[in-house]
Structure 1
Amino acid sequence: MEGLILQLMDALKGLSYFGIMLALTLEFVPAELVLPLAGYWVYQGDLNLYGAILAGSIGGVLGPLTLYALGRYGGRPMVLKFGKYFLVTEEHINKSDAFFEKYGGGVAFLGRFVPGVRTAVSIPCGMAKMNIWKFIFYTYIAMLPITSIYVYLGFRLGPQWTKAGEMMGQYANFLLLPIALVVFWMILKRRRKPKTA
């Protein structure tokens, strides 16, 4: 499977930044593979670092939007029927539902940092008819740091870019969790701030 994805990415490389966005729109293509590879392309001089991060972050929103739409317009029966095509199982959906009930709309942000929830979290957001602009905003600010780290690791590792996923797995909690908690706290603080007349 990984070999087929790499062939796809090689074909999409000719589309430059749009190719990165397009690859990430396909939910079955793991960002853990695409983003370090984009960083390697930066290392090779084919792309700009900031352009690759921006393209990756936008693509990281477009992919979840497909699952959001599936949840919003198809409901649970449609998700159970077609979720497998997005590598989303019923177990993922149940975990995401429970996470959504606990944290509300903020899961569009916080859920991106939780293994077993991050992919399917868009579905309960859609089923709850969460405001789409809030969904896009929360998803983007979650994807930006994740994308930045993966692309940067791919850039720094150069020909060893395939080790980026392993490194990220070792240090993800130290790198991403503090960012997630700070931003989530800021969102909660803003929501609870009393409105002045």
Structure 2
Amino acid sequence: MESLILSFVEYLKQFGYIGIVLALTFEFVPAELVLPLAGYWVYEGDLNFWGTVFAGTLGGTFGPLTLYALGRFGGRPFLEKYGKYVFIREKEINAADDFFHKYGAGVAFFGRFLPGVRTTISVPCGMAKMNVWIFSVYTFLAMFPITAFYVYLGEKFGPKWKEAGPMVKEYMLPVAAVIIVVLALFFLFKYQKSRKLRNG
């Protein structure tokens, strides 16, 4: 299966950055395979780092939107019946559904960093009819650092780019924790600043 996906991605390489967007728009194509490979293309000088990161983030936003649409317009019965054809099993839908109901709309951001719910979290967001623009913004913001990390490692590993995927999985949670802390500090700073302005 991996060799088939790699052949497909290699074919899309001829379209440059648009090829990366297209590859990641298909949710059955794993980002942990595409993005380090794209990083290797950066290493070879075929692509620009930031152009690749932006294209990967865009594709990583379009892909979840397809699952969001399936959840929103097809509903759970549709996904339970046909989800297996896009590699979504009932167990994964249940895990993502539980996670969504536990943590609310923020899962569209935080869920991207968690193995096991990262892909399928889009489904309950769609079923709950979460605002599509909020969903897209959260997804884009989460996918940007993930994409940059994958592409960076793919570039640094060069010909050994396949080692990047497992490494990212290992460090995904610590990276998420750092991002959450930074965001919390940012919003705290903004809150304190607006409070001072209100109090004169």
TM-score normalised per structure 1: 0.91
Give, in whole Å, the separation in 1 of the partners of 2:110 and 2:79. Answer: 22
Instruction: Choose 155-164 or 51-60, whichever is displaced more.
Output: 155-164
Amino acid at match of 1:29: V
Deviation at 1:86, TM superposition (A): 2.0
Task: Determine which structure has more spread, i.e. the larger CA radius of gyration.
Answer: 2
2:107 alignment counterpart:
107
Aligned with 1:36: secondary structure?
helix
2:80 alignment counterpart:
80
CA contact (8 A) 2:112 2:142 kept: yes
2:154 alignment counterpart:
154
Give, in whole Å, the separation in 2 of the partners of 1:176 and 1:156. Answer: 21
Give, in whole Å, the separation in 2 of the partners of 1:183 and 1:104. Answer: 17
TM-score normalised per structure 2: 0.90
1:142 alignment counterpart:
142
Runs of 5+ unmatched residues, structure 1: none
Moved over 2 A (4+): 169-177, 180-191
Deviation at 1:82, TM superposition (A): 1.9
Give, in whole Å, the separation in 1 of the partners of 2:179 and 2:173. Answer: 10
Distance 1:90 1:182, change over 3 A: farther
CA contact (8 A) 2:27 2:64 kept: yes
Give, in whole Å, the separation in 2 of the partners of 1:93 and 1:52. Answer: 31
Aligned 1:47-196 pairs, distance under 5 A: 47-183=47-183
Deviations 1:100-146 (A, max 9, x none): 11111111001111111111100110011100000000000000000
Instruction: Choose 16-25 or 182-191, whichever is displaced more.
Output: 182-191
Give, in whole Å, the separation in 2 of the partners of 1:110 and 1:33. Answer: 21
CA contact (8 A) 1:35 1:154 kept: yes
Aligned with 2:9: secondary structure?
helix
Aligned with 1:80: secondary structure?
helix
Give, in whole Å, the separation in 2 of the partners of 1:88 and 1:185. Answer: 36
Give, in whole Å, the separation in 1 of the partners of 2:140 and 2:188. Answer: 17
Distance 1:89 1:180, change over 3 A: farther
Distance 1:138 1:90, change over 3 A: same
Aligned with 2:124: secondary structure?
helix
Deviations 1:119-178 (A, max 9, x none): 110011001110000000000000000000000000111111111012223322333332
Give, in whole Å, the separation in 2 of the partners of 1:116 and 1:166. Answer: 14
Alignment: residue pair count: 194
Identity of aligned residues (%): 58
Runs of 5+ unmatched residues, structure 2: none
